[in-house]
Structure 1
Amino acid sequence: MNWICPHCREPLVKVERSYHCETGHCFDQAKEGYVNLLPANRKRSRDPGDNREMVEARKRVHAADVYRTLAEAVAAYFKELSHASVLDLGCGEGYYGGVVLEHAPKISMWGIDIAKPAVRLAAKAHPRGRFAVASAYEVPLGDSSMDAIFSVFAPVGESEPARLLSHEGFFLNICPAARHLWQLREHLYADPKPHKEVAAALPGLALEKQEKIGFSVALEPPLLADLVAMTPYAYGGQRESKATLEQLGVFEVQMEFLLQCYRREQATA
């Protein structure tokens, strides 16, 4: 099993450091080991996805294991898998995929993200994984090719999980719960609103299980600034409130997440 061509959807065959399809399209592998399968005519900007500053901020937050409790909860869904193909859909710099590999070392890890700086870091961190710059709305992998898929805070093409999953496969979606980062949002916004706790309707899939996990973390000012920089709050909130973050000292904030596990809908007689 390998990547498929984003232009003609034919299988890509790796020859030395390049991927080729039968119709003649060619994609070179970067020195870090990933391949760019996002055609230029499908980009909405010159450098889509998270920029380098956001990626580096996220890398520092993850290096401090601020989200380790969440990562362990995600990995628990995969620990029984062996010799299975798992896709990290919106892999970022590969933090969650790395924790999954710690718990399930025999799986085959695949990862895509639209942000090239993030994919470059993921490929460097996990050389035995396979990573590509690609869209989550047109994943360059074949039908029924994945035994499991997970996505942490990433946009997902509604029809892609069902297309990609094998018959017995599952899709794990992780999204913010109602009061995720509530104290931070109270500081940045005059009238913060809770996140809506809604399970997405995904064609061909049914929600099998949903669980909520939460924990608190105490952040020093530099790490708190990185947390803001890696989230949508980097572009929102009151400017005056952001300016006072570094004066808060150690800041305790609540983390709260929904883990939603989907499986294929069972055909009715």
Structure 2
Amino acid sequence: MMSQVIACIDGTNVSTAVCDYAAWASLRLDAPLQFLHVLEKALYPAASDLSGNIGLGSRETLLHELAALDEKRGKIALEQGKNMLKAARERAIADGVPAPTSRQRHGSLLETLADIADDIRLLVLGKHDEHLGDHIGSRLENVVRTQHRPTLITPAVFKTPRRVMLAFDRSSATRKGIETVAASPLLRGLPCHVVMVGDDNAANREHLDWARATLQAAGFDTPTALIPGEVEQTLCDYRARHDIDMLIMGAYGHSVVRRFFVGSTTTAVIRDAQVPVLLLR
């Protein structure tokens, strides 16, 4: 099957933005778009088999009633999911995406994504602000940690990306990120700021020059900056000062940038920025 943009929607307040960012990415990549809805088993268990509970009297009756309620809840959620997928397809078509498709599963999101991993060109997920505590959100973080496909994490409101920023630190993950951005049509034509936080020395300048040359050779307008300071604040200030619409990072490497985005400060930065984050593997 041709690789697709896979957009995970769940009916929460971020689903509309997920639809819009997924449609934008599908058109930029000229890739098919599929919406995915997973009915989590933990919340909607399958109908129970009570055949072994003969002779339990009132307890058996209660179990049957509870099982019937679970089954009814599951059927309602399934129907709601179908309607949600239909609305998502209609919205994508209105955005200009030809023939978007949908898929509905009952099970685990992680297992479902593992099953269809070969179909994924870009995974689009929404960030639920109300679930943010010390982590990005347990389900979202688990997906990001286990996925080996580019993943776009969206805020609750869509804004067409006009300027993007890649936090660069000389690591293999961020060097690969530069090469991935250069080779992909997703961001082509957009200014791509490459920002490095560190000492202004010859070694850092050499790496930054490589990043600029690689992107410019692919046709990008590539402003670069080498700025001393504390990583988190420096990158946040640069993003705000230049009105950056999307952050790009290599996911789960072993660098200072990785710790900035994925460590304890990740939650506050992504939540406060209200911009999408593109994670490259």
Q: Which protein is bigger by CA-based radius of gyration?
A: 2
| Higher RCO (Cα < 8 Å, 6 or more apart) | 2
Under a length normalisation based on structure 1, what TM-score does the superposition of the two structures give?
A: 0.30
The structure carrying a bigger helix percent of its residues is 2
The structure carrying a bigger strand percent of its residues is 1
